[in-house]
Structure 1
Amino acid sequence: MAIDKPYLTGHYTPVADEITATELTVEGTLPPELTGRLLRNGHNPKPGVTPTHWFKGSGMVHGIRLREGRAEWYRNRWVHTPALDGAPYMTDHGPDLTASTAGTHVIEHAGRLLALCEANLPFQLTPELDTVGAFDFDGKLRTAMTAHPKEDPVTGELHFFGSSPFPPYLMYYVADAKGEIVHSAEIPGATASLKHDFAITRHHVVFIEGNVTFDPNDHSGIPYGWSDAQTARIGVMPRGEDGDRHVRWFSVEPGNVLHVGNAYEDGQGRIVLEGPTVDHVGFQLSWNWWIGAPGRGTEPVTRSYTRRWVLDMAAGSVDEQIIDDLPVEFPTLNEQYLGVENRYQYAVSFPDETGFGGYGLVKYDRTTGARRIHQVGDARMPSEAVYVPAAGAAREDDGYLLTVISDLKQDASQLLVLDACGLDRIATVHLPHRVSAGLHGSWIPDTGLDGADD
């Protein structure tokens, strides 16, 4: 009997075709400084294709072009990689790094749009979302690239890593503001643990290894699983040319982290790291959902709770605690505060493992401990909240949150623009069809694409 695939139903039902629509209907008033593109990626298999794991679905990028108070267009395009046409990842000569789903994230750096998937090379896109092809930084990237690179808001450098279940387990790279790789190093002491995200501070790079590690006996197509024998660890490396010679690994409580909220050095020189974390039960519920197996929760990440680690480098100790009991994922922030202490953080809230609670957008005040939730409504699911600063912003939360809503009752989607301070709705852009639930995205101002026009 066939196992049903939750990642092909409901909010996750794939979009069946590529379209372009212009002059979208806007309710409210779009701030004129929102001139650019909101891009969002996600796994979206072609009609007739049933992947064995949600993460195996081909990537589709959705784009919404805003300009001076108007919503000029919406378009969605599959990322046309060899895998979209059925090319295998594993070949007789080893992995084909171009056979990518390219379905996890989409970013801009040095004027390039890159669709990312952590097992492969990036794929470059045009401003209109057509696929240019695999991008290997002029031959200097010979490994896969994480889907979660970090752009230093001060230097414009792009920090990223490539991980593998086989040696070398972890490679670290820095590309300068022009998009050229200027540093790479193998990180000593790393293991085959799944490394999905990481963090940078002003002076350090922070790697995370959880209990999820390479499992050759897994047959879902994503060969990873929970292992009590795999020690959960945080690796801290000084930034700089010889930082890989001074990596320190700290053991932490069992768990698995997919996404980092932020990291920074506090006033005492300690490193503070935060991110949603699942325990063994939470991981298995999510994994069963992702592969469509029995014993899953109503949604993935139903036991994902925000955890804080404080690493005292001088004492060699780690203090850690769960700081909120609301199931959340997709943490975001005002990225001008990436790597330094931030007061505000945003996330998407999920129903718990019993199905209790709805979807919403959450704002955390890390100074007061306050939590505010914008409820998006019944049968409506928001995407990751992308922060965009307001013109002349004077405060950390003086800006906007952009999220795409999947509305099952209306079989439709909207782009919501919220005030990042109070989470009040400012504008709604009606999209021409429902956008399936996906993963990560970026706001790309026109200046990031050299004023690209259509």
Structure 2
Amino acid sequence: MTAAKPYLTGHYTPVTDEVTATGLTVEGSLPPELDGRLIRNGHNPQPGVTPAHWFKGSGMVHGIRLREGRAEWYRNRWVHTPALDGAPYMTDKGPDLTASTAGTHVIEHAGRLLALCEANLPFELTADLETVGAYDFGGTLRGAMTAHPKEDPVTGELHFFGSSPFPPFLTYYVADAKGEIVHSAEIPRATASLKHDFALTRGHVVFIEGNVTFDPAEHSGIPYGWSDTQPSRIGVMPRGVDGARQIRWFSIEPGNLLHAANAYEDGQGRIVLEGPTVDREGFQLSWNWWVGAPGRGTEPGARSYTRRWVVDMAAGTVDEQIIDDLSVEFPTLNEAYLGAEHRYQYAVSFPDEAGFGGYGIVKYDRTTGARRIHQVGDARMPSEAVFVPAAGATREDDGYLLTVTSDLKQDSSQLLVLDAAGLDRVATVHLPRRVTAGIHGSWIPDSALDAPKG
């Protein structure tokens, strides 16, 4: 029964149709520099469809267009892939990389808007969120693409990878600022460990392999599970055409990381990496929720704690520690600092496994160790907080955080615009419907979509 699946209830209850609304009501004043679209992706199965796993639900993008202090429109659209019409991922000829849920993330690069799912090719969308079709970088991408590519804020290059449970387990790619793949390499000594995200520094690429790995006995449709025998490791690879041959793997404590907050080289040349992680029990509790298994399960993020790794390349050692006891997920930052040492990072807080605490937007000051939380209110859940810089910004946190709330009491949603410095509310945009709790999204300035496509 649908009611037994936690990912189809409460904040995650799917919407049943596609709508467009214009002239949205705004409380407060929208900053004029917010000239573009907030687009957020997530899993939203069609009416009558009950997927066996949260991740198997079809992707739906929700967009909010802001311009000149107005909220011009909201619209939501399913990403119309073959999988939406029932096409299977596995065929007698192998995987169909176009049979995607396309429901994990949405980004812009080189003027193209791409909906992503890590087991498939990207799907291109129009500026109005209609589906164009599968995109393979002009035939140069022949495998899957991660849902978490990284755009270098200095060069404009897009770094990404494709992973597989079968050799080659990991392939690394670089697309230039025009959107053309200019480099690819198979990564030596990678394993079938689940690699959902990675990190980029100014000089290195950082891969993370945790204890969650390919498990052909798992029949939920996502064939992965925890393995105590799977090594947990960090791979550090110099950027550049010969980097793959120089990769080094460093053992770390058991665990699993889905989302990296950031990585950088510190003043001593060490690699510093941070992100929320789960232990064995935490992963199993989340997995039970993801598949709707009988018994105890908790929402993703309920037992996920921020961890820091410091990799000393010269000494060949890794120092690691949990640096906060708050349950969080979906870390973000001012992406001008991606790959560089940053002071501030943001996340979504979750009730813990006992149900204590609430949903909120968290700001960490990594210099002082301070933590600030914007509580969104009873029965309300925020989405990942997307940072947008303010006009004329001079400080790292000069900007705004954009998050879409799901409000169960009012059966509604709002776009909250928060001041990134103090987490005070700047403006609220009232949306025409409750938006299903989702996963990742991006702020796409109009100037990016107006640029010629690569």
TM range (shorter): over 0.9
Per the alignment, residue 287 of structure 1 pairs with 287
What secondary structure is seen at the aligned counterpart in 1 of 2:76?
A: strand
Match of 1:83 in 2: 83
Which residue matches 1:261?
261
Shift of 1:3: 7.9
Q: What is the alpha-carbon distance in structure 2 between the residues aligned to residue 350 and residue 189 of structure 1?
A: 36
Aligned residue pairs: how many?
A: 452
Per the alignment, residue 154 of structure 2 pairs with: 154
The aligned residue for residue 172 of structure 2 is 172
**What CA deviation, in whole Å up to 9, does each residue of 1:207-238 have, x standing for no partner?**
00000000000010000000000010000000
Specify the alignment match of 1:329 in structure 2.
329
Which position in structure 2 is the counterpart of 1:187? 187
Distance 2:342 2:285 in 1: 31
Give 1:294 deviation, angstroms. 2.1
Deviations 1:79-99 (A, max 9, x none): 000000000000000000000
Alpha-carbon offset, residue 300 of structure 1:
2.1
Q: In the TM superposition, what whole-angstrom CA distance separates every residue of 1:282-302 from its partner, at most 9, and x where no partner exists?
A: 000000000001233342221
Note the 1:33-432 alignment, pairs <5 A. Answer: 33-432=33-432
Letter in 1 for 2:37: R
Amino acid at match of 2:444: I
Is the contact made by 2:19 and 2:75 (CA closer than 8 Å) also made in structure 1? yes
Question: 1:451: how far off?
Answer: 6.5
Looking at structure 1, the residues matched to 267 and 146 of structure 2 have their Cα atoms a distance apart, in angstroms, of 30
- Name the counterpart of 2:6: 6
Tell me how far 1:397 sits from its aligned partner: 0.1
CA contact (8 A) 2:84 2:101 kept: yes
Same amino acid, percent of matched pairs: 86
What is the Cα-based RMSD across aligned positions, in Å? 1.0
Asked whether the equivalents of residues 102 and 123 of structure 1 are also in contact (C-alpha less than 8 Å), the reply is yes
By how many angstroms is 1:356 displaced? 0.7
CA distance in 1, matches of 2:267, 2:124: 40
Is there any run of 5+ residues in structure 1 with no aligned partner, and where? none
Structure 2 counterpart of 1:260, which letter?
Answer: A
Q: Which runs of 5+ in 2 are unaligned?
A: none
Aligned letter for 1:189? R
User: Do the aligned partners of 1:108 and 1:448 also contact (CA within 8 Å) in 2?
Assistant: yes
Aligned equivalents of 1:43, 1:297: Cα separation in 2? 19
User: Match of 2:19, as an amino acid?
Assistant: I
Map Cα deviations across residues 237-286 of structure 1 (whole Å, 9 max, x no partner). Answer: 00000101100000000000000000000000000000000000000000
CA–CA distance in 2 between the matches of 1:389 and 1:218?
43
What do residues 381-424 of structure 1 show as CA deviations (whole Å, max 9, x unaligned)?
00000000000000000000000000000000000000000000
Q: 3-state DSSP class of the match of 2:245?
A: helix
Read off the aligned partner of 1:217 and give its amino acid letter: A
Deviation at 1:450, TM superposition (A): 1.3
